[in-house]
Structure 1
Amino acid sequence: MTSTRGRIAALLGAVAVVAGTTLAAPAVAAPAAPDRHGGITGQAPCQGMPEYTCGTLTVPLDHSGAVPGTLQLDVAMTGNADAPEGDLLFLTGGPGQPGLPLFQRIATRLAPLLKDYRLVMYDQRGTGQRALQCPGLQEDMGSSDLTPPRKQSIADCAAALGPNARFYSTADTVADMDRLRQALGAHRLTIDGVSYGSFVAERYALAHPAHVAGLVLDSVVPQQGYDPLDLVALPATARVLRAACQATGCTTDPAADLAATVRKYGNGAQILDALTSYEFADPNYGGVPEVLHEAAAGKPEKLQAFIADVHTNDAAPAELLSQGLHAATLCADGHYPWGTSDTPVAGRAAALERTRQALTAEQTWPYDAATATGLGSLLVCQDWPREPVPPTPPAHRKLPDVPVLLLGGDRDLSTPYEWLYQQAKSAHDPKIVIVPGAAHSVQRTTAGQQAVYDFLLK
């Protein structure tokens, strides 16, 4: 079985934190002088990337103005400010992933577009050098969405972020994006969003339809948000594993073996977590059918070692994927069995248990109801302090009538392509590309890149 040590490199585009670089990480708004002109200040050649321009955008901590304070967001741009098609804003995922450490790799990947577009990336609030820091949660979860953390880690994170945690919602990021658009001097943006970045792109388009020229949505999270019970990914596992098995010539039924293993050991959440991470290392899930077959037959040792190896290699610092920001955003945005984060904490566990009891085998197979109600991001928000949450746009609202490309991989468990087809219903005449054999972040593949080139080069 292929090692999972490539997980972080694949997730973050093979980014490494440069040795000796000091990374500042305030947990709340950094004290900074307001930018009176609304522009990108301190523009200069990027450190280590002198062919590009970097600067700082200052935004309000609270866009309503009720709470004082500012945040500084690091921005990087290619030099072609007069590009004929304007600005292409590339949005990373997570939530919690930075933009600037990926800039050179993305610029190289999108090089054929740069005669027509100026590429812009930025560190969304709470990420990168100014990442929200929650050491316990970071240690427990690393780069995973699904690993259940310790309750103490959740409590410590919520205490560290304090009441300002509510200012790290997607609505706040969308407001930052419009400040960035204005600072760039752009009337409209073309937006390329991957994973959570696709969700941010959709929410921006719904909030500011007149300022969007086109959308590339890669590894799509639908505009209604992610399902904390993962009731799409659970059944999609059977499809994905069987397709990978057929591609590699395995002779077992990994979906049936997975179902038998979950029934026998009750470890569905651990398996889903491991498989969702492993797709970054090997979209063919090499070796997985064999270890599932052995586990179903009563020999779980190899499966346990696989799960442990994946978890170990999911480790990541907050500067590359902030679990503090991840928690703050998902808990502010999410809709859960108990409601939202403005629901009293005391009743949440009972509501979740009622949901577990109501789930059917058809909804969760080849897993079980305990898998759906035992996932890390869900459990973080079950214990997250009560807080006001921002309003969400109506679920039925359509995206603006602009060109939309939706990209998916048929081996993706992080954002199964069923979500892509759900989002397609909210777009006007979208172009859909499903890349066979591709997992999460389809633009890492040659076919995904070509689909973007064909879509954006007119």
Structure 2
Amino acid sequence: MNRKTRFLLALALVAAVLGWRAWQSRAPKSAPKATAYAAEAAPERKLGRIAFKPCTLAPALGAASVEAECGTFTVAENPALPNGRKIALNIAWVPANESGDHMPDPVFMLAGGPGQAAAETYPQVAPAFREVLKHRDVVLVDQRGTGKSNPLKCKDEGAEDKADDASVQADAVDESPAAMRAAAEKCRDALAKHADVRFYSTTDAIRDLDAVRAAIGADKINLMGVSYGTRVAQQYAMRYPQHTRTITLDSVAPNAIYLGNDFARNLESALDLQFGRCTKTPGCAKSLGDPRQRLNALMTKLRADPPMVKYRDASTGQMKEERLTPDHVAGLTRMYAYVPVAASILPLLLNEADQGRYEGLMALSKMLGGSLADQMMYGMQLSVICTEDSAGIHGDDAMSQSLLGNQLVETLQQQCAVWPKGVAPKDFHAPLATNVPALLLSGELDPVTPPAYAESVVKTLPKGRALVLRGQGHNVIGAGCMPKLFAQFLDTADAKALDAKCLDTLAYTPPFTSFNGWEP
């Protein structure tokens, strides 16, 4: 493997965490598989009525493992049938430091997706909780349908995330809406053996969260949600305000939106901002030209005549050959846009493609698709979107020629036509209006939940404050001094009193102008 390919694949490993700030901690890799394993002959501890045993939360790559306590809590799948099928919710508890004052209100971290599991993703954001753990426990509940809470995952499902914090599947031969509909039908039928997929929505999840809250004996809890997790936090605060002490919303998805409608438009806006950094970097425009024009030209070429590309498979080391399609490039561009440190290499890759060298784009696209396959629970994602969003999903003629076009919307419409739906409250998409203290965080360059989303949500939160982090993308809780501000907010429950001037030191990631790295 030559120097260039090694460098590209190393960068892909960084980007594959999709916005999680694992790369900031500079921690060594731990166990090779994302899992939690119990220690032998471990002593049992109790938090309220739930029994726990020591375990280790070990991510797949990039972040240090986290020592925790693991247990389960059983809930009814269908609340109307308390004696029917049960779900054992997987729960991890990270106890507060014993040396500090132990506050009674723990922090519940809510994962994104929809389809990610809290216990699996927490190690990648754990550095942001170091100050929090001086005084408060952190509780991680794998949302029903994810992680080890009766996961709704299908073998050979042929797609991961067609919706929020996920990807366009790079490995599928046929990604047409009709093919994705067939994949949804196959997944639906397989899951029917062990799940009624109508009961895996956000509304079901917040009912579980409140049951766990009561079981551990906490009168009030603090909610910290990322991306789709911000929807869960808002819905919980709406239904259970008396038990919500604070909410921290990182990369805000407003109640009012329908997942899928704005993906194409938001990506276009983010790419304009991110590629615009090239024109402001000495040597970038001169060396690489206009990245947006290069991308447009590449997509036009791929639609007309996708080239056959030889590349090295990162997982096997074997040389492979496959046609580079528009879907490969659109998916890679979208997911790299989540993380500016990864997106900074896109101008260089597009310049390489302009010279007829496509192996870097293909290798990274295939590697990214493989790394995402095990992170998202496809069935749970459809249960959420089809129950809560399908009635409001529609295409946008103005985006038909954009990078993503309307394919994601059309795919969701086809899939939801055959997916069993639950029942969402009539006011599900009403803005959250509450006096609960709220801290809202946005990355300036976020391609999926732009700062305008947080600005719209904070209008109905009298005790809320929205912060925009310069030069950042999706999931910003670990950026710069944000962990310190997060801990201060939890201590004071007063977002407006925070001195956020330290965020002014955040810098933009310069674009690569060669494979030697960023310009000095």
Partner of 2:44: none
Structure 1 residues 325 and 263: CA distance shift in structure 2, 3 A: same
For 1:250-285, what per-residue CA distance to the aligned partner results, in whole angstroms no more than 9, with x for missing partners?
314434444455556557765442222113564362
Partner of 2:321: none
Q: Contact conserved, 2:339 with 2:472, CA < 8 A, in 1?
A: no
For 1:297-329, what per-residue CA distance to the aligned partner results, in whole angstroms no more than 9, with x for missing partners?
xx4844685156224323247653222222222
Partner of 1:89: 108
Aligned partner of 1:273: which letter?
G
Matched, 1:161 2:183: no
Partner of 1:393: 427
Residue ranges of structure 2 left out of the alignment (5+ in a row): 1-6, 23-28, 38-46, 58-64, 170-174, 304-324, 493-520
Structure 1 residues 243 and 187: CA distance shift in structure 2, 3 A: farther
Of 161, 181, 190 in structure 1, the residue corresponding to residue 213 of structure 2 is 181
Aligned-residue CA RMSD in angstroms? 3.7
Structure 1 residues 60 and 309: CA distance shift in structure 2, 3 A: same
Of 266, 271, 276 in structure 2, the residue corresponding to residue 233 of structure 1 is 266
Structure 1 residues 335 and 388: CA distance shift in structure 2, 3 A: same
Instruction: Measure, in 1, the Cα distance between the counterparts of 2:420 and 2:267.
Output: 29
**Count of residue correspondences:** 421
Q: Contact conserved, 1:99 with 1:122, CA < 8 A, in 2?
A: yes
**Runs of 4+ in structure 1 displaced over 6 angstroms?**
20-23
Partner of 2:71: 55
Instruction: Report how far residue 92 of structure 1 moved.
Output: 1.2
For 1:183-212, what per-residue CA distance to the aligned partner results, in whole angstroms no more than 9, with x for missing partners?
121221111101111111011111112211
Partner of 2:449: 415
Q: Contact conserved, 2:107 with 2:136, CA < 8 A, in 1?
A: yes
My pick for the range that moved more, 141-150 or 447-456, is 141-150
Partner of 1:172: 204
Of 157, 160, 163 in structure 2, the residue corresponding to residue 137 of structure 1 is 157
Matching of residues 429-448 of structure 1 within 5 Å = 429-448=463-482
Q: Contact conserved, 1:222 with 1:420, CA < 8 A, in 2?
A: yes
Q: Which TM-score applies when normalising by structure 2?
A: 0.70
Residue ranges of structure 1 left out of the alignment (5+ in a row): 24-37, 340-351
Matched, 1:193 2:225: yes
Aligned partner of 1:314: which letter?
G
Matching of residues 239-278 of structure 1 within 5 Å = 239-246=272-279, 248-249=281-282, 250-251=284-285, 252-259=289-296, 261-262=298-299, 265-266=302-303, 270-278=328-336
Structure 1 residues 221 and 255: CA distance shift in structure 2, 3 A: same
Partner of 2:234: 202
Instruction: Measure, in 2, the Cα distance between the counterparts of 1:383 and 1:302.
Output: 41
Partner of 2:507: none
Partner of 1:35: none
For 1:86-136, what per-residue CA distance to the aligned partner results, in whole angstroms no more than 9, with x for missing partners?
111111111111122344554443121223222111211111134222122
Of 110, 123, 126 in structure 1, the residue corresponding to residue 145 of structure 2 is 126
Structure 1 residues 22 and 374: CA distance shift in structure 2, 3 A: closer
Matched, 1:79 2:107: no
Instruction: Measure, in 1, the Cα distance between the counterparts of 2:136 and 2:369.
Output: 35
Instruction: Report how far residue 19 of structure 1 moved.
Output: 5.7
Instruction: Report how far residue 72 of structure 1 moved.
Output: 0.7
Instruction: Report how far residue 416 of structure 1 moved.
Output: 2.4
Structure 1 residues 118 and 371: CA distance shift in structure 2, 3 A: same
Instruction: Measure, in 2, the Cα distance between the counterparts of 1:307 and 1:210.
Output: 51
Instruction: Measure, in 1, the Cα distance between the counterparts of 2:329 and 2:83.
Output: 43
SS of residue in 1 equivalent to 2:477: helix
Of 67, 79, 86 in structure 2, the residue corresponding to residue 70 of structure 1 is 86
Of 452, 460, 466 in structure 2, the residue corresponding to residue 426 of structure 1 is 460
Q: Contact conserved, 1:90 with 1:120, CA < 8 A, in 2?
A: yes
